Chain A
Amino acid sequence: MAVCIAVIAKENYPLYIRSVPSQNELKFHYTVHTSLDVVEEKVSAVGKSLADQRELYLGLLYPTEDYKVYGYVTNSKVKFVIVVDSSNTSLRDNEIRSMFRKLHNSFTDVMCNPFYNPGDPILSKAFNGIVSGMMVQTS
């Protein structure tokens, strides 16, 4: 039940970003952008240890009073960012993890498509479908 889901490429530009339309989307874009700093910090910290130990799921990046931001980074340095509403307290960590896992799966599907050039915005309908399933239903 995310409010905003974003996929950011290795070079830190967005490949896919989608928010619940009701709210000011620009605010979410900004939030995702600032969360990238936190992601970098976490990634560099973990990177000291062996690669196979590196956690893909980064957990809560930072909470604000309105919402919380979770991060996930893949082995190819593609970052997924999920913004959830703070009022939605029923969301457990496991659920966030499973959301990221689903995102990762559909992202790999998009990558596998030979017609997709890495670095292009993600236009896949299947990916869109997965994301819609995760977004907050009521807008």
Chain B
Amino acid sequence: MDQESAAASGGSLISLTDHEQRFYSGLHALCQADAPGKLSSGKVAELFKASQLPPEALHKVTEVCGAKHLGYFGTAQFYIALKLLAAAQSGLPIRLESVSGNLPLPRFAGLKNEPESRHAAAPPGADPQGSAPGSVARNPADRSTFRHLEASAEKKEPWSPPRSPCSSPPRSPLAYRGYPYSKQRNGVDAQIPYDNKPSSRPGAQLEQHSSPSRYVSKPAVEHPAMARASSTERLNQQATMNYSDDDPWRMTAEQLEYYTNQFKSLQPDLGALILGAVAKNFFTKSKLPIPELSHIWELSDVDRDGALTFTEFCIAFHLIVARKNGYPLPESLPPTLQPGFSQREEEQIPDTPESLEPLIVFEDAEPRSCQVDPSGIGRLEPSVATRKQDLQGESLKQDTSVKRLASSREKSTLQLGAFPERPEPHLELDPQMRTKTRQRSYSSTSIEDAIKKAEEPPTPPPRPQKTHSRASSLDLNKLFQQGAPGVKSGWLLPPALPPRPPTSQVPHFLNVSEQASQAKVQQPNFADFSHFREEEESSVKLEEQGPSSRFGLSSEDLTSASKQDVSGTPHSQAPQKPIRRKYHPESQNLETGPPPPPPPAMPFPPPAKPSQKLLSRQKREIQMAIRKNRETNAVLRRLNSELQQQLKVVHKERVTLESQLELLRPLAST
């Protein structure tokens, strides 16, 4: 009788849903039997144990399903038993009547459930009835909780993959829902979305068993099913640990969308920057402690400009969300979060299939997960697949994985693809700018270094502007007055010029021209061409000692010139001829009629005196000198015009100051 009833019940009661059917048949296959129709009791016992129900319950199940009577588990009995197990796990009494309800799939810890995973894939989708209302109810709850944590609207799902088949969604909805909320740890909210997903059930189970500190425990449950025999907790933690670098740090499309909206609320233009203060206020609302926010800022402000571009903002937001969900902050940006992540994503896909779990979705995107294609599952590791199904909440994450699977998440792909590109130019620009500004800040030190330590080769100037300022030219004047060694002037002046091969004469030209520009202020300097002459020779000597390559050519020239100087004065004068000639136009420009430098006054010893050899050499050298001088001439003309302008400006200022002084004087006197 009982058997019959059992059989009958088996027949009638077994109105398995599709995925249940598959699940059960998978299990059935697992426990495959000695004899056809009879399941191996050992395997069945194992299965029952894996369901983690107390032994009395198991006994009851066996009894109720009729196997006891039969002495073995037939298919029908097995199915009934499974249903009863599910009921028991959901907290319903173990009776035949309970079998008729819609139950979640029974969960079995520690079983290698490939078939289950496959089924799990299906079930989540198929498991609508129980879960649908639950999930619907949940969604609003989730949403509200989400709203709570503004920033943490997205939570990432830490776990990764492991999914166990248990996936079957169903759960005692109430128990489930209650559980995550009560478990609120670091934003269990994140779990809420998960709750919607089938996995919730296993999660509930697991949580009951262990004290999973993380909401991740849910996935953990699945892990065991995946053949991890360890406790859920352990699994959970392992899972989270392993994947914490990948999964939580990967942004899903929905998250990106959310971030975009938030960004727009702060700064309508997506290409612009959010200022530091604005971002600070916004992130402070997330109620994370300030040192952590500070650390997050350090991680996310990649270009170090004190403001956030869109990408940086997303990174920061993402980190905040992760932190709120309990992830420890990384010491450095995880690769998936770095600004170029979208490109890397493709590469990483094969590497970390499990990292499909990205994140917390902040909405329940059930429908998507439901569709996790079985095909996809086949491609991915089963864990991933099951995960996907289990965690429909993670559909977002799964999106990324699905993307990889080439399932239809084009939109997410597009979204993800679109975003990184834009901010990247910002990033590229900013670091450059940053480094430039950085360099500038140290320029003054190097200038001083050059002055003070002659032995150090002058650092090539990124500071040409600075040296052009009046202050620097005043300095130069001071140096000249002090009779500073020509090297200093030589060293300093080239920075002022574009570093073309300045002959030693160039500094002199510069000196003179700058002096000339100061002519109004310091007339004597300008007229001091003898000074100039000394400079030249001293610089020549110094250049003979050697260093700068810039002076290489000119030094050669000058050294030869100086040698010849020694040999015969005419030679040294020859190079001076061009100088002198150049001086004239410049001096005219400067409206000072500098007396022709002494050299011109010097007698012009006829070149005829030296021998023919000397003559030709001189000619060659003269020609070279002429060429160089022409170049320097052009440079100096430019410099001259600039200095002229500066002079005008200064002059105007002086005039205004004088007029002010005049105005004040009568007041002072009275």
Contact = CB atoms under 8 A, between A and B. Distances in A.
A124 to B, nearest CB: 6
A53 B297 CA distance: 34
Interface in B278-322: 279-280, 283, 290-291, 293-295, 297-298, 301, 304-306
Nearest to A116: B294
The B interface is mostly helix, strand or loop, or mixed, namely helix
Contacts of B301: 112-113
A57 interface: yes
B297 A113 contact: yes
Interface string A37-76: 0000000000000101111110000000000000000000
B448 A53 contact: yes
Interface string B153-190: 00000000000000000000000000000000000000
A10 interface: no
Given A115-B280, A115-B290, A125 B445 contact: no
Contacts of A55: 444-445, 448
B442 A112 contact: no
- How large, as a class, is the contact surface on chain B? 20 to 34
A50 B444 CA distance: 11
Nearest to A105: B438
B276 interface: yes
A50 B294 contact: no
Contacts of B331: 125
Interface residues of A, number: 22
B667 interface: no
Given A115-B290, A123-B291, A54 B306 contact: no
A102 B378 CA distance: 52
B637 interface: no
Contacts of A104: 441-442
A53 B444 contact: yes
Nearest to B293: A115
Given A112-B304, A114-B279, A56 B444 contact: yes
Contacts of A126: 298
B448 A113 contact: no
Given A55-B445, A104-B442, A116-B294, 10 more contacts: A50-B471, A53-B471, A55-B444, A104-B441, A112-B301, A112-B305, A112-B306, A113-B298, A123-B294, A124-B294
16 contacts: A50-B471, A52-B469, A53-B471, A55-B445, A55-B448, A112-B306, A113-B276, A113-B294, A113-B297, A113-B298, A113-B301, A114-B276, A114-B279, A114-B306, A115-B290, A124-B295
